[in-house]
Chain A
């Protein structure tokens, strides 16, 4: 990827602008309420942008177009449960969290149950969020370093280090204001990229033609049922049911019990502002994600006419071409290129037939495109097998490289720099919120809770800053380790997250809705539920989205049973 001087200037100016803006907005009162919650003064629109900026990491903008390119748009169904979760949060979680004037979601668990439930849940959050934030630094860094030839250690440090400047100095307020700026830049740049994807199509081929080409190749599969000839496929990751049900529990867990999100809407002035932020997130998230995925389909249409790389990660490709499998790989590449050439002819025929409304040719083109797509996928799988044989530790998933490869191949100088900048900004938005929430949990749930020394508000404020810095350094260290350990660490962290989410949600659901259940019943249920989730995950009998439902349901049902069997009295929060 050619990164010119103009790109460097655009990248540097954009990143520096955001850092300076963050520092400028970092003045806040020197106590924990000011540092972690912006004095609870944020309007709904900043809450909304904060929620969206925290959820959308760098990988979101890299993965989504690539996901649509390889697997189609069905990934959008993953977000279908989110609006419904926003409604439940608005009704139950938000009013109670505001009423209790919480700093962290886990404080509520002590008020409702006991200190051990609070400490355990907060610890699980610190563990999984600390590790996953390290990976969210590493994942975009490895893509940029691989495509631009940058040093991976330096990229990790810039990706996870520069944001520490404004996150440490300004806390939640700086995080919120920079997320606002990041949002504007990111979405503006993505729409520019979409415009160039349409502009790069051959003469006479427009936006609708591009949609037809992607659609007839099976890429506009926005709604899928997950049902095949054997019935419902529980391992199918993205379909309307896993999205609505599994996605609902995932979103409820993420937005209701993950401090990186709870910390965003606790900064709101009151319940009304929090609710508005969450509900508007429910309204706009699905259409925005649809548009980002649509970019991937436009890339697919573009590469139907022009030479598409068989494998988008050049580094891995170079490695296999220097191995004993080079001849096999070259043969597969040649076969893939032949399919691509034939596909380009069919795509042109289809575009013409669409203009002439020639149904027989349209139908014939559809069949040819679908066959070409299947054959292409088989060859890509064969190539991935060869890459894995050449290097067993190789990453054969090139989804994250597709969008950037297109950017490098087709966008003019300057815009390439802007797209690289938005990868940094998207990463910063979610990492900054994560650091702020990790620091608030460490300070509130551990330091303040267990320290015998009474601190003044200024001392607490200072400790808040120290903890933010500590977590920033910790996450960078994890990112550096991820490079040395490789895919096994990334997979482990991803699995770790899906193991705990459902159980933590189950604990909160019991706290809210089963007033008679006591701490011991919920604690034992959580441990049993965890064993069930890990067993189900280990034997890989169901897609990961369902694990959230299993974990939450297990805690709710078991705690109710244990409570009935033990028959103890309750301690409900008033």
Chain B
């Protein structure tokens, strides 16, 4: 829990990037999932 970001705006940047990156990763995985079983 102590590693979670605090009040400083800059410390949240990695979280924002992580959320966007996970979305991108999911879309790529879903694409291959669609191809794999079609």
Contacts and interface: CB of A to CB of B under 8 A. Distances in A.
A290 B22 CA distance: 14
Nearest to A220: B37
A410 B32 CA distance: 32
B23 A272 contact: no
A221 B34 contact: yes
Interface in A215-248: 215-216, 218, 220-223, 240
Contacts of A211: 37
Interface string A260-275: 0000000000111001
A279 interface: yes
Contacts of A271: 7
A129 interface: no
Contacts of A287: 26
B16 A87 contact: yes
B4 A272 contact: yes
A94 B22 CA distance: 22
A84 B6 CA distance: 21
A372 interface: no
A549 to B, nearest CB: 19
A472 interface: no
A47 B8 CA distance: 21
A456 to B, nearest CB: 34
Contact of B26 (A218, A270, A286): A286
A438 interface: no
Given A272-B4, A272-B5, A272-B7, A223 B19 contact: no
A83 B25 CA distance: 12
A87 B9 CA distance: 12
A366 B23 CA distance: 30
A240 B38 CA distance: 18
Contact of B20 (A84, A223, A272): A84
A87 B15 CA distance: 9
A91 B37 contact: no
Contact of A80 (B12, B16, B23): B23
Q: In which size bucket is the chain B interface?
A: 20 to 34
Interface residues of A, number: 31
Given A240-B27, A271-B7, A290-B30, A283 B37 contact: no
B19 A216 contact: no
Given A87-B16, A87-B19, A279-B15, A220 B34 contact: yes
Nearest to A87: B16
A90 B6 CA distance: 13
Contacts of B38: 215-216, 218, 220-221, 366
Nearest to A214: B37
Given A279-B19, A282-B19, A80 B7 contact: no
A172 interface: no
Contacts of B15: 90, 275, 279
A275 B37 contact: no
A221 B31 CA distance: 9
Contacts of A214: 37
Contact of A83 (B20, B30, B31, B37): B20
B37 A223 contact: no
A351 interface: no
B16 A90 contact: yes
A531 to B, nearest CB: 34
A90 B12 contact: yes
A164 to B, nearest CB: 36
A46 to B, nearest CB: 15
A80 B31 CA distance: 13
A76 interface: yes
Nearest to A215: B37
A275 B16 CA distance: 10
Given A275-B12, A279-B15, A220 B33 contact: yes
A222 B26 CA distance: 11
A76 B30 contact: yes
A272 B19 CA distance: 16
Given A272-B5, A272-B6, A287-B26, A222 B34 contact: yes
Contacts of B33: 220, 222
Contacts of A283: 18-19, 22
Nearest to A221: B34
Interface string A78-122: 001001101100110000000000000000000000000000000
Interface in A362-397: 366
Interface of A: 76, 80, 83-84, 86-87, 90-91, 211-212, 214-216, 218, 220-223, 240, 270-272, 275-276, 279, 282-283, 286-287, 290, 366
14 contacts: A80-B27, A84-B20, A87-B16, A91-B16, A216-B38, A220-B37, A220-B38, A221-B38, A275-B15, A279-B15, A282-B23, A283-B19, A290-B26, A366-B38
Given A91-B16, A279-B19, 8 more contacts: A83-B22, A87-B16, A215-B37, A216-B37, A222-B30, A272-B5, A279-B15, A282-B23
